Amino acid sequence: MHQAVVNKDTSFEGIFIVGVKTTGIFCRPGCPARAPKIENTEFFSTAKEALQFGYRPCKMCRPLEHAGEPPSWLREILTEVNSNPSLRLKDYEIRQRGVDPARIRRWFKKNHDMTFQAYLRSRRLNEAFGRIRHTSKVTESAFDSGYDSLSGFNDAFKKATGFVPSQSGQRNIITITRILSPLGPLFAGATSKGICLLEFTDRRMLETQIKILRQRLNAEFIPGKNEHFDALDQQLGEYFRGQRRQFDLPLVIPGTEFQQLAWRALTKIPYGETRSYGQQAQAMENPKALRAVGKANGDNRLAIIIPCHRVVAADGSLTGYGGGLWRKKYLLDLEKR
Ligand SMILES: [Zn+2]
């Protein structure tokens, strides 16, 4: 694949995508830009994967547009998004640009297996977190030189996410990273006290969760290393290999009293078993709180570790899972084996 990139071989078009670690940009195999060194490359089968790993699309080879099929109606809006990664576009704003929101949704779904809104979300998050992951030197120097670089990062973060940095004096740090799993990459966050976030990178709630954590813990997000990530990575690996039934990690789970109770009740569901929302409400001695239990499950910030996937409908069917039903099914199947 690297040789194809060096040769700018367009016959590999559509077969793979190359991510360039040093720039955080992903390209088609035939990109006219100078080929990266092999040690700086990472290969993906689709643009969606590259996005999930924090890469941004190359402006030269435009890997989101199919070769030989330039959709002229889409070009203008893509150019706008690419020049302003923090952009949010509601349906009516898409319409104002002369594009039918349903059409753009279909195009993204067909060509990239993701919705346009999911694409915009990953652009925003990648702008805030992605670039720094791929140039770890910047992160380290941000740590080393302290506050100045930190506030620089915060400005970029604010621009990308629209979140206002906290004004109060005391700042905590939430370190953030991506961890690979058989179900796709996960965003992980941790403070010095423990893990506070584990969520699939394509989950719609992610931005909201980040915002909530930021406020609750009065914290800034910094991509980088954290003492708890190694244990998390190792235990997740064991879990996915069927070698671990329980996680042994310090957790930081700020929430309302009800959420705390609901999350604790989730951790009591044994590995390999499921419970209904009703049973969970019973377990909390609050049998009428069915809906609230469902809501608290949805608000869970620690996918897999706090096993909200073990809650199913009363008839045993799989219902609502933030990370997608196919992931819920995979996790339950894994635990039943
Ligand atoms: Zn390129």
At 202 the pLDDT is 81
Sign of dihedral through CA atoms 196, 200, 201, 207?
negative
Is residue 117 located within the same domain as residue 163? no
Asked if residue 11 has pLDDT above 90, the reply is: no
Q: In this predicted model, which residue has the larger pLDDT, 250 or 123?
A: 250
Q: What is the mean pLDDT of residues 241-248?
A: 94
Domain count, the chain: 3
Question: Other CB atoms closer than 10 Å to residue 110's CB: what's the count?
Answer: 9
Q: What is the rounded distance in angstroms from the CA atom of residue 221 to the CA atom of residue 218? A: 10
At 274 the pLDDT is 94
By annotation, the residues acting in catalysis are 27, 308
Is residue 24 located within the same domain as residue 94? yes
Residue 250 inside a domain? The answer is: no
Quick: pLDDT tens for 180-211: 888 888 889 999 899 999 998 888 788 889 88
Is residue 117 located within the same domain as residue 20? yes
Residue 55 inside a domain? The answer is: yes
* Residue-averaged pLDDT of the chain: 82
Domain CATH code at residue 304: 1.10.10.10
Enumerate residues with CB within 5 Å of ligand 1 (an ion).
Answer: 27, 31, 33, 58, 60-61
Domain CATH code at residue 50: 3.40.10.10
The 3-class SS string of 13-68 reads CCCCEEEECCCCEEECCCCCCCCCCHHHEEEECCHHHHHHCCCEECCCCCCCCCCC
Q: 21-25, 219-223, 243-247: which has the highest mean pLDDT? A: 243-247
Mark which of 125, 150, 166 sits at the end of a domain.
125
Is residue 286 located within the same domain as residue 195? no
Helix (H, G, I), strand (E, B) or coil at 79: helix
Asked if residue 109 has pLDDT above 50, the reply is: yes
Mark which of 125, 154, 188 sits at the end of a domain.
125
Q: Ligand 1 center to residue 50 CA distance, Å?
A: 13
Is residue 307 located within the same domain as residue 226? no
Q: State which residues form the domain around 260.
A: 255-336
Asked if residue 123 has pLDDT above 90, the reply is: no
Is residue 302 located within the same domain as residue 212? no
Quick: pLDDT tens for 25-47: 999 998 988 889 999 999 998 88
Q: Ligand 1 center to residue 51 CA distance, Å?
A: 14
Work out the pLDDT band at 256, boundaries 50, 70, 90: very high
Work out the pLDDT band at 143, boundaries 50, 70, 90: very low
What is the rounded (10 degree) CA torsion for 255, 256, 261, 262? -70
Which neighbouring-strand residues pair with 242? none
Asked if residue 136 has pLDDT above 70, the reply is: no
Is residue 109 located within the same domain as residue 143? no
At 244 the pLDDT is 95
Q: Ligand 1 center to residue 31 CA distance, Å?
A: 4
CA distances from 158 to 162, 202, 288 (A): 5, 20, 40
Write out the E strands in the chain. Answer: 17-20, 25-27, 41-44, 56-57, 172-179, 186-190, 195-200, 219-223, 275-276, 311-312
67 conformational bin, left if phi > 0, alpha if psi -120 to 50, beta if neither: beta
Q: Return the residue matching tokens 């992610």.
A: 206
Q: Ligand 1 center to residue 62 CA distance, Å?
A: 6
Residue 279 inside a domain? The answer is: yes
On whether the pTM is more than 0.85, the answer is no
Q: Ligand 1 center to residue 280 CA distance, Å?
A: 50
Tokens of 126: 């990648």
Q: Ligand 1 center to residue 292 CA distance, Å?
A: 47
